[in-house]
Amino acid sequence: MTEVLRVEGLKKLFPVRRGVLQRVAGHVRAVDGVSFAIQAGETLCLVGESGCGKSTVGKTILRLQEPTAGQIWLGGTDVTTLGEEQMRVHRREVQMVFQDPYSSLNPRMRAGQIIAEPLENFGLAEGAEKDRQVHSLLEKVGLRKDAAERFPFEFSGGQRQRLGIARALALNPKLIVADEPVSALDVSVQAQVLNLLMDLQDEFGLAYLFISHDLAVVEHIGHRIAVMYLGRIVELAPKDRIFAQPQHPYSEALMAAAPIADPKSRRKRLVIEGDVPSPMNPPTGCHFHTRCQYAEARCKREYPPLQEIAPGHVVACHLRTKDTLAAA
């Protein structure tokens, strides 16, 4: 399979300024050394609590926010070193579908104009050919051709998100970053949009970085799952394995909290005590040790590196290594 995206050691720090002179008093470590790769036709899901850095990862990959450190490889090119003009070429390869399907669309533009705008910006089509491509994209996402003449407020929430997806597809990208794309929609509409994304992936070989806090959504669309906590990935594994056998205590608690459709089924609840520490002043050692029921003295001193415990399954936990799992 072709590698579409590779992220290595990605960091994004936001300065905190205080006082009359607005001097830098510290930094919020929104993303703190994240690494992963995505293949063509694959969906990697980023999950975790609000504030863990999921959306910042997505925005930094598109360089909507500049990374503090690390490398972002798109199609074999390190885009972190590119200037604005060079980056413009690579923006065609990666597009974004935003969380709010209304505020992400220009209310003064008709649907056809919204979809045609990227085609015009990159000089890819004009006149009758542009109209043909707009109508084709509308049909791809399940909207009629005459929808091109309507304004965003004339669409339902699900239709607006379909319009956002059509705009993202206009440049024929290799990667789409989807930031909570169905969280603002009704449950029945969520399923329709997710199925649409999966159908488009099969048709065009798209790679998705799918950012969500909804584990039911992630289980439906994902191939692999990366669990984030306080700016770092603590576990990354194939979907089936992480839902069946989560190894990090945080992942374990997340999966235990996910609702089950079968009313007769019961699952042991694991309650995470305490609040999420401040990303401006994270705990020493493992960031999760202040809330972990299994924490030992070593966890408070040393941050555990990501280690592979099974093919394609990595976890950052002192208690979860090949040796400890084999002994258990």
Looking at the domain 3-327, which fold is it?
Rossmann fold (3.40.50)
pLDDT digits (tens, 9 = 90+) for 44-92: 999 998 889 999 999 999 999 999 999 999 988 999 989 888 888 888 8
Strand partners, 97: 178
The pLDDT confidence band at residue 130, using thresholds 50, 70 and 90, is: very high
Residue 283, helix vs strand vs coil: coil
The pLDDT confidence band at residue 178, using thresholds 50, 70 and 90, is: very high
pLDDT digits (tens, 9 = 90+) for 205-222: 999 999 998 888 999 999
**Predicted confidence (pLDDT) at residue 322 exceeds the cutoff of 80:** no
pLDDT for res 211: 96
Q: How many whole angstroms separate alpha carbon 124 and alpha carbon 170? A: 10
How many other C-beta atoms can be found within 10 angstroms of the C-beta atom of residue 15?
A: 12
Q: Is the dihedral of CA 72, 41, 193, 51 positive or negative?
A: negative
pLDDT digits (tens, 9 = 90+) for 250-285: 999 888 877 666 666 666 666 677 778 888 888 999
The pTM assigned to this predicted structure is: 0.91
* Domain ranges, ordered by start, for the chain: 3-327
Mean per-residue pLDDT over the chain, rounded: 90
Kindly give the pairing relationship between strand 94-97 and strand 23-39: unpaired
pLDDT for res 272: 76
pLDDT > 90 fraction of the chain, expressed in percent and rounded: 64
pLDDT for res 9: 95
pLDDT digits (tens, 9 = 90+) for 30-41: 999 999 999 999
pLDDT for res 110: 95
pLDDT for res 254: 87
